Structure 1
Amino acid sequence: MTTVERREEWSTRWGPYALLGVATLVSAFVADAVMTSAEKQVAAALVLMALVWQLCWERVRPGASEHGVAGLVYFAVRWAFAFALTWLNPFFALYAVQGYFDSRQLLSPRMAHVGLVATAVTMAGSQSGGLPPQGPLNLFAFVALFVVNVGLVLLFVRLEKQRDENARARALTIDELQQANARLRQAHEENAGLHAQLLVQAREAGVSDERRRLAAEIHDTIAQSLAGIVTQLQAAADSEDPAVARSHVERAAALARHGLGEARRSVQDLGPSALEHDALPVALHKTVEEWSATAGVRAEFTVTGDAEALHEEIEATLLRIAQEALANAGRHAGATRVGVTLSYMDDEVSVDVRDDGRGFDPHRVDARERAGGFGLGGMRARAERVAGTFEIESEPGCGTAVSARVPLVRHA
Structure 2
Amino acid sequence: MDPLLQKDNVTSYLLQLQEHENKRIALEMHEGAAQNLYSVYTGLQFIEQSLQNESLKKFMNEMIRSMETGIGDIRRLSAELYPISLSTLGLMPAIKQYAVYYTSTFGIVINVKETGDSYILEEGVNLAVFRVCQEALANAAKYADVEELDIVISWQEAAIQVVILDKGRGFLKEKVIAENRAPGLLAMKERIRLIGGECYISSKINEGTEVTVIVPRMK
What band does the TM-score fall into relative to the shorter chain?
Answer: 0.5 to 0.7
Offset at residue 398 of structure 1 (A): 0.5
What is aligned with 2:102? Answer: 291
The corresponding residue for 1:204 is: 13
Residue 199 and residue 283 in structure 1: after superposition, are their counterparts in 2 closer, same or farther (change >3 A)?
farther
**Residue 368 in structure 1 maps to residue 180 in structure 2:** yes
| Partner in structure 1 of residue 194 of structure 2 | 385
Structure 1 or 2: more helix by fraction: 1
Measure, in 2, the Cα distance between the counterparts of 1:209 and 1:375. Answer: 16
Question: Which runs of 5 or more structure 2 residues have no equivalent in the other structure?
Answer: 1-5, 21-68
Taking CA–CA contacts closer than 8 Å with sequence separation of 6 or more, which of the two structures ends up with the larger relative contact order?
Answer: 2
Of the three residues 257, 268, 280, the one matched with 2:91 is 280
After the TM superposition, which residues 15-26 of structure 1 pair with which residues of structure 2 at under 5 Å, given as runs? none
Counterpart contact for 1:369–1:377, Cα < 8 Å: no
Q: Decide whether aligned partners of structure 1 residues 281 and 210 sit closer, same or farther in structure 2, where only a CA change above 3 A counts.
A: closer
Partner of 2:63: none
Which residue identity is paired with 2:109? R
CA distance in 2 between counterparts of 1:384 and 1:293 reads: 32
Whichever residue aligns with residue 195 of structure 2, its letter is: V
Where does residue 119 of structure 2 map in the other structure?
308
Which residue number corresponds to residue 40 of structure 2? none
Provide the identity percentage: 28
TM-score, normalization: structure 1? 0.36
State the secondary structure of the residue aligned to 2:136: helix
User: What secondary structure sits across from 2:213 in the alignment?
Assistant: strand
C-alpha RMSD of the superposition = 3.2
Report what 1:341 is aligned to: 152
Shift of residue 290, structure 1, vs aligned partner: 2.2
Once the two structures are TM-superposed, the CA of residue 209 in structure 1 deviates from its matched residue by: 6.9
Letter in 2 for 1:405: I
CA distance in 1, matches of 2:190, 2:9: 16
1:119-159 per-position Cα deviation (integer Å, ceiling 9, x unaligned):
xxxxxxxxxxxxxxxxxxxxxxxxxxxxxxxxxxxxxxxxx
- Partner residue of 2:212? 403
AA paired with 1:383?
I
C-alpha separation in 1, matches of 2:10 and 2:156: 27
**Cα distance between partner residues in 2 of 1:361 and 1:279:** 34
Instruction: Give me the whole-angstrom Cα distance separating, in 2, the residues matched to 1:361 and 1:199.
Output: 28
SS of structure 2 residue aligned to 1:368: coil
Task: Name the CA shift for 1:292/1:264 in 2 (closer, same or farther; >3 Å).
Answer: closer
Q: Relative to structure 1, is the Cα distance of residues 318 and 210 closer, same or farther in structure 2, using a 3 angstrom cutoff?
A: same
Contact 1:272–1:316 (Cα < 8 Å) also in 2 = no
Q: Distance in 1 between matches of 2:148 and 2:170?
A: 13
Could you list the per-position Cα deviations for residues 28-56 of structure 1 after superposition, in whole angstroms to 9, with x for gaps in the alignment? Answer: xxxxxxxxxxxxxxxxxxxxxxxxxxxxx
CA distance in 1, matches of 2:168, 2:128: 24
Structure number having the greater strand percentage: 2
Amino acid at match of 2:123: E
Q: Residues 293, 304 of structure 1: CA spacing in aligned structure 2 closer, same or farther, 3 A cutoff?
A: same
SS in 2 for 1:327: helix
User: What SS is found at the alignment partner of 1:397?
Assistant: coil
Cα deviation, residue 298, structure 1? 2.2
Q: Unaligned regions of 5+ residues in structure 1, if any?
A: 1-196, 212-256
Mapped partners of 1:205, 1:347: distance in 2: 29
Contact 1:369 1:376 in 2 (8 A): no
Residue 266 of structure 1: how far off its partner (Å): 5.6
Displacement, 1:264?
A: 7.2
Alignment of 1:2-401 (within 5 A): 203-207=12-16, 268-366=79-177, 367-370=179-182, 374-401=183-210
